[in-house]
Structure 1
Amino acid sequence: MLTFVGLGLYDERSVTVAGRDAIRDADRVFAEFYTSRLVGTDLEALEEYHDTTIEVRDRAGVERDPGPVLDAAETDDVVFLTAGDTMVSTTHTDLRLRAEERGIETRVVHGTTAQTAAGSLTGLQNYRFGKATTLPFEQAHGGDGVPDSVVATIEDNRSRDLHTLVYLDIKVDDPHWDDSDDTYMTADHAAGLLAEEFPETLGVVVARAGSPDPAVVADTLPELATRTFGDPLHLLVIPGDLHPMEEDALDAIAGLP
């Protein structure tokens, strides 16, 4: 059996009760933290909270060499942990399909997602979000500024009066959570990049969703680019035209100018 467990958004306590039960009952526990991170905790605290040993796999160990995970799941109850909701990344879907091809039973224990948290924290209506996109670091896509695909996604959503959730790039080079090797794109940096393509456009920053001190700030992209929003993780939402209730929510929650 291979059970995928989403750990939620922030720290070791963000997991659901069902997820904690699955971890408790597992013979072996694997994890990856390169697609996203729980910035409110570390590996040691996770292991202590769940009273287990967690075997962390890097990108190559999940995507190119998943054999140890699948071999274990053929004979034991194995849990595979990720931040957020475990099936948001196609990497995890691929691993699940490989397991099914080998006749390994799989199941999913969901965790809270950044997308649902962004809607909840901002007051923007969930059904009005269009296609999401990820804004990469400039050096990651080999060019300057914002990739055409990101611009096209935002423009298409705005043309249909939909909000765009912009995930911000993270670079995690050490699977064992060496903070010196981690780089997180900040919302002010992202706003500065997007302001070149969408001047005077409204943006909404969501910082540290799922933590005890999340921040939600609404302003034009050029203004957001001049501010700081504290510790990661950050998200950025580019809204479509606001419903009156959404406008009231952003005014009350995010200081809508």
Structure 2
Amino acid sequence: MLTFIGLGLYDERSVTVEGREALRAADRVFAEFYTSRLVGADASELAAHHGVDIEVRDRAGVEQDPEPILDAAADGDAAFLTAGDTMISTTHTDLRLRAEERGIDTRVVHGVTAQSAASSLTGLQNYRFGKATTLPFPYAHGGGDVPASVVETIEANRERGLHTVVYLDIKVGTGPTGPDPDHEEYMTADVAAGLLAEEWEDALAVVVARAGSPDAVVAADRLSALADREFGDPLHLLVVPGDLHHVEADALVGLADAPRSLVEE
């Protein structure tokens, strides 16, 4: 059996009760933290809290050399952990399909996602979100600006009156000059706002920082204004709202300190 377990958003306690039980019952436990990570606990703290050994795999160890994970699942019960929800954004469908092809039973234990938390924290209604996008570091796509695909996604959603979740780039194990096992870099919301302000300087945006943590931050303002603020430790994301329902406008004012004049424009 191969059980995919979403750990939630913050620390070793954010996993669901079902996920905790499956994690502790597994014969071997694998994890990856290159697509996202828990902001309140590292792998050693997670392992100590749950009384298990965790084998952390890098991208190559999951995508190019999954055999140790699959062999463990074929011989017993294996768990595979990611932050958030293991099949949302940090998607590992390929690994699950490989297991199924080998006749290995699989199941998914879901965790809270950054997108659902963004809706909950901002008060923006979940069914009014359009396609999400990821804003990469400029060096990661070979340019110095916002990729056309990001601009197109946000514009298409805005034309339909929909909100856009903008995930911010994470680089673990690779940097500007190539592979680097010691490199960790997390785009912050002020940097992202500065990049997006080149396209939409006066557009309303909402920062969500450290969703799921005790000190989560939600802040709404013009992109140009957000670019001049600091929002503390990662992980961060941005939401670019579309048309606002009056309850959503009130929520941004009350929960994110948005200027009333801005949400009413």
Which band: TM-score by shorter chain? over 0.9
Partners of 1:24 and 1:217 lie apart in 2 by 38
Secondary structure of the structure 2 residue equivalent to 1:219: strand
Paired residue type of 2:162: L
* Paired residues for 1:1-257 under 5 Å: 1-89=1-89, 91-173=91-173, 181-257=183-259
Structure 1 residue 144, shift from structure 2 partner: 1.3
Paired residue type of 2:197: A
Q: Is the 8 A contact 1:86 1:111 kept in 2?
A: yes
Structure 1 residue 188, shift from structure 2 partner: 0.4
Partners of 1:89 and 1:200 lie apart in 2 by 29
Question: What is the TM-score when the length of structure 1 is the normalising length?
Answer: 0.97
Give structure 1 stretches of 5+ with no counterpart.
none
Distance 1:180 1:95, change over 3 A: closer
Secondary structure of the structure 1 residue equivalent to 2:198: helix
Q: How many residues align?
A: 254
Q: Is the 8 A contact 1:5 1:19 kept in 2?
A: yes
Partners of 1:157 and 1:151 lie apart in 2 by 10
Query: Per-residue displacement from partner, 1:42-81 (whole Å, max 9, x unpaired)?
Result: 1111011110000111000000000000011111100000
Query: Per-residue displacement from partner, 1:141-188 (whole Å, max 9, x unpaired)?
Result: 0011100000000000000000000000011118xxx99621110000
Q: Is the 8 A contact 1:3 1:109 kept in 2?
A: yes
Structure 1 residue 16, shift from structure 2 partner: 0.3
Secondary structure of the structure 2 residue equivalent to 1:96: helix
Give structure 2 stretches of 5+ with no counterpart.
175-179, 260-265
Structure 1 runs, 4 residues or longer, greater than 4 Å off: none
Q: Is the 8 A contact 1:6 1:86 kept in 2?
A: yes
Q: Is the 8 A contact 1:206 1:217 kept in 2?
A: yes
Partners of 2:79 and 2:239 lie apart in 1 by 33
Paired residue type of 1:86: T
Partners of 1:230 and 1:180 lie apart in 2 by 22
Secondary structure of the structure 2 residue equivalent to 1:39: coil
Partners of 2:187 and 2:143 lie apart in 1 by 16
Partners of 1:244 and 1:147 lie apart in 2 by 32
Paired residue type of 1:167: Y
Partners of 1:35 and 1:101 lie apart in 2 by 25
Partners of 2:183 and 2:67 lie apart in 1 by 27
Q: Is the 8 A contact 1:63 1:91 kept in 2?
A: no
Secondary structure of the structure 2 residue equivalent to 1:134: strand
Distance 1:121 1:90, change over 3 A: closer
Partners of 1:253 and 1:89 lie apart in 2 by 26
Q: Once the two structures are aligned, what percentage of the paired residues are identical?
A: 73
